[in-house]
Amino acid sequence: MAGQQFWGTPGWRCAFILMATLSSFIGLLVFLFVVDPRKTVSVNHDARINLERDELVEKGNGRVSSVWSESWMATKAVIKIPTFQIIVLQGIIGSLPWTAMVFFTMWFELIGFDHNSTAALLSLFAIGCAMGSFLGGVIADRLSQIYPHSGRIICAQFSAFMGIPFSLFLLKVIPQSVSSYYTFAITLFMMGLTISWNATAANGPMFAEVVPSKHRTMIYAFDRAFEGSFSSFAAPLVGILSEKMFGYDSKSIDPINGSPREAFALSRGLLSMMAIPFGLCCLCYTPLYKFFRRDRENVRLAAVKEEEMI
C-alpha cells in the first residue's frame, strides 16, 4: 500500500487508518464479550461487582486515593522481589533489539528492495514471531512439567541466545543484494520463530507466580511502561552508531536504486544494538535459577496465610 494512492490518499496513511479501525473493532469485541475473571455475580444477582472494591468500601477505604495508596504499597512490595527485578532488567535489555528492528524496512530498501519485497520480508518475520510465541509457550509448558523450577528459564535463555547467531547471519553473512531475497526470507522467518519465546514461555508465566493476583494487571502495566521507556533509546543509538562509527551518510542515498554503502553502515549499527543486547539478555536470566523457586514459594505461602485470615 505504501507506493499507491487510494481515493487521493497516500497508501501509508490508508494502512494506518485500516489498522486503527481493526484495533478499534477488536477493542469493541473485548468490551462486549470478554469477562473480567475478578468480577463475580453478587448475592442478589442484580449486577456484577468487584469483590476487592467492595471490601475496601466496607472498611471505609473506598475512596480513589485509598485504592491508589494500596496499589502503590503493593507495587513497592513486588519491586523488592528478586525475580521481578531480574525479569524487568532483562526486559529492558531484551527490548533494545526489538526497538532497533524498526530500521529493517529502511535497511532492506537501502539494499535495493522495492516496497512490496520489503513488506513481504517483514511479513514473513512477523509470521515467524507469531508462530514462535505460540511454539515457545507450548514448549515451555511441557518443559516446566519436567523441570518445574528451571524449565521456563531454559526456554527463555535459548530464545535470547538464538538472537545472536541469527543477527550475525542476517546482518553480516548474507550478501546485501536483491539477489539474496530468498535467503533473507528464510532467515527472517526462522529468526522470528526462535527469538520470540521469552514473553509467552517465561516472562508472563513467571510474573504470574510471583505477583499477587489482585495487583497483577497493575504490575504488568508498570513493567511494560518501564521496559518501553528504556528500550526507546535503541533506535536513536542505531542511528548514532551508523553515522558516527560506520560512515552512514543520508545525503548520498539513492531513493530508486538503493545505497549499498549506507545499507552496510546501517547493518553494522543494527548488529551492535542486536547481538550484544541479546547476549546480555540471555545472561540476565541466569540468577533466576537461584531466586525463582524461592520467590514463588514465598508468594504461595503468603497467599495461603491471607486465605486463612479471611
Residue 66 falls inside a structural domain: no
Together in a domain, 178 and 299:
yes
Domain with 110, as residue range(s), is: 85-309
- Which amino acid is located at 4 in the chain? Q
Pairwise CA distance, residues 68 & 251, whole Å? 52
Highest mean pLDDT (candidates 49-58, 155-164, 241-250) = 155-164
Q: Using CB atoms within 10 A of its CB, is residue 56 exposed (0-12), middle (13-18) or buried (19+)? A: middle
**N- to C-terminal Cα distance for the chain?**
58
Residue 117 falls inside a structural domain: yes
CATH code, 297:
1.20.1250.20
More confident residue, 34 or 155: 155
Together in a domain, 106 and 224:
yes
Residue 32 falls inside a structural domain: yes
Together in a domain, 109 and 254:
yes
Determine the 3-state secondary structure of 41 from DSSP: strand
Together in a domain, 121 and 15:
no
Mean pLDDT on 163-189: 93
Residue 293 falls inside a structural domain: yes
Which residue, among 89, 74, 87, 58, has the nearest Cα to 302 in the 3D structure?
Answer: 74
- Unique residue bearing C-alpha cell 514448549: 139
Residue 238 above 50 pLDDT? yes
Together in a domain, 10 and 106:
no
Residue 60 falls inside a structural domain: no
Q: How confident is the model at residue 2 (pLDDT cuts 50, 70, 90)?
A: low
Residue 47 falls inside a structural domain: yes
CB 198 within 8 A of CB 161: no
Pairwise CA distance, residues 176 & 112, whole Å? 9
Together in a domain, 178 and 278:
yes
Output the CA angle 25-129-161, nearest 5 degrees: 145
Together in a domain, 98 and 40:
no
pLDDT in tens, 104-155: 988 998 888 888 889 899 999 999 999 999 999 999 999 989 998 889 999 9
Together in a domain, 11 and 109:
no
Listed in sequence order, the DSSP H helices in the chain are 11-33, 51-58, 64-79, 82-100, 104-111, 115-146, 151-168, 181-195, 198, 204-210, 216-231, 234-244, 260-272, 275-284, 288-309
